[in-house]
Amino acid sequence: MPVTRRQFLGTSAAAVLVAGAMSKGTVFGANERVRVGVAGINGRGGSHLEGFGKCDGSEVVAICDVDKRVLEARAKWLADNTGKRPKTFVDIREMLADPEVDAVSYATPNHWHALGAVWACQAGKHVYVEKPVSHDYNEGLAVIEAAKANNVIVQHGTQSRSDHKWIRAIERIHAGVIGEIYMARALCYKNRDSIGFKPDEAPPEWLDWTLWQGPAQDRPFNTNYVHYNWHWFWAYGNGDIGNQGVHQMDIAIWGMNKGLPNKVFSMGGRYTYEDQGETPNTQVATLKYPDGTMTVFEVRGRATNAEGDQKVGNLFYGSGGYAVGTTLYDTEGKEIPDEAVEAKPEWGTGDHFQNFVNAVRNHDANAVHGNPVDAHTGCAHIHLSNIAYRAKTSLDFDPAAQRFVGNDEANALLTRDYREGFEVPQPA
């Protein structure tokens, strides 16, 4: 049975919830709908409202946001467009305790993703969590364990996993159409201008600043954090490699199919301006696998040319050709035609939200495109790259132990200090 609302709200730390007392997942009948609660509804969360509202077999019944202005505006939008006003919550714990919510989707800032997902799993809810699944390396392991322990469906918001063109391209790459793959390149070239300098100030009355910070250490409010530029501060975001770049890194490791790397090096900086941001606007990361192959990721946040026709995209290099995006070429640069012209039924609808809903309704974790293990593997590459950048050195990593070799400073960055009551469980 799921924990009661009183039981869930009565504890400050989600880690003390007993997995054996959690729901093992609702079994849905043919005409039953998955009732979704969406948390973090200002930006990407709006797409969640539309996506789950349009899915066959789901409806949005609750929304949660620490910005009361956004909460009211989205509630009105849903009421106007669906004829039904959703329940509204400021505190995610209250929404998770609602027995009328079957699944939760998160489009909050990165620092809330893993804790929100873990809490939802422990409350017996299925979870759709935006990328990156984790703000820190160890958090990905916590999400994997929470999904498994509580027998719920968890999907990562890497939509390319449900894209038929990418499914087919990766299938062809794995089949050896361009030979033995020795390198993947992932690109994120988005012009990011200066965010300037803003003074700390009292938080506005419409924002619950304490809940916005959640697991992060308490600091004064600053308008450069809310609602988008938090991406460029280590306490809340992961830079562009962990923002837009997660999509491209996920595709790269999907195509390489090598698991975790054993060496990583990353350099860069915040070039052409000085501002309050902390993460690099230009960054190159090289990650090598035990067999010597590698993935290279590049962030260019200022003016730049494209690579091939890619500015935000992927390239793969093999012994018999290369791929630019989903198009494969031979060694002479001629496109290699694909004999398959129609998507296979097992690929699904092509809609990532619908894939999640279908998996939940059938309680089939194997049907998920972007499961917790894939999510962690992709985001691990992000976190290892950022750790190497911050440590300013090349690092050896043990994929089995999931720890750096001989570097305590780097290992300390696999996690962070959490605020009391908002701790993410750590691996043994």
The CATH code of the domain that includes 190 is 3.30.360.10
Q: In whole angstroms, what separates CA 89 from the centre of its chain?
A: 23
Q: Clarify whether residues 155 and 167 are in a common domain.
A: no
Other CB atoms within a 10 A radius of the CB of residue 218 amount to 8
Question: What pLDDT, on a 0 to 100 scale, did the predictor assign at position 25?
Answer: 54
Say whether both 178 and 259 belong to one domain. yes
Within-domain flag for 229: no
Residues 127 and 173 in one domain: no
In the chain, % of residues over pLDDT 70? 93
Instruction: Tell me what pLDDT residue 339 has.
Output: 84
Specify whether 392 is located in the same domain as 361.
no
Whether residue 189 is found in the same domain as residue 324? yes
List the CATH number of the domain containing 55: 3.40.50.720
- Which domain covers residue 362, as residue numbers? 5-159+352-369
Tokens read off for 267: 């350099």
Is residue 216 included in any domain, yes or no? no
Residue 210's nearest CA partner among 225, 220, 199, 224 is 220
For the chain, what is the total number of helices (H) and then of strands (E)?
12, 17
Per residue in 308-350, pLDDT tens?
999 999 999 999 999 999 999 999 999 999 987 788 888 999 9
Extract the tokens encoding 73: 């505006």
Same domain membership, residue 111 and residue 55? yes
343 shares a domain with 257: yes
Rounded distance, CA 77 to CA 367, Å? 32
* 202 assigned to some structural domain: no
Q: Residue 207: inside a domain, yes or no?
A: no
Answer yes or no: are the C-beta atoms of 297 and 248 closer than 8 Å.
Answer: yes
* SS3 state at 299: strand
Asked if 64 and 168 sit in the same domain, the reply is: no
Nearest CA to 131 among 144, 118, 120, 140? 140
Nearest in space to 280 (alpha carbons), one of 319, 335, 242: 242
Asked whether residue 187 falls in the same domain as residue 296, the answer is: yes
Q: What is the mean pLDDT of residues 360-380?
A: 97
C-alpha 252/C-alpha 187 separation (Å) is 10
One domain, residues 166 and 155: no
Q: Is residue 291 part of a domain?
A: yes
Give the C-alpha separation, 170 to 35, whole Å.
Answer: 33
For 203-255, the pLDDT digits (tens) are 999 999 999 999 999 999 999 999 999 999 999 999 999 999 999 999 999 99
Residue type, 325: G
Indicate the number of domains in the chain.
Answer: 2
The answer to whether residues 144 and 168 belong to one domain is no
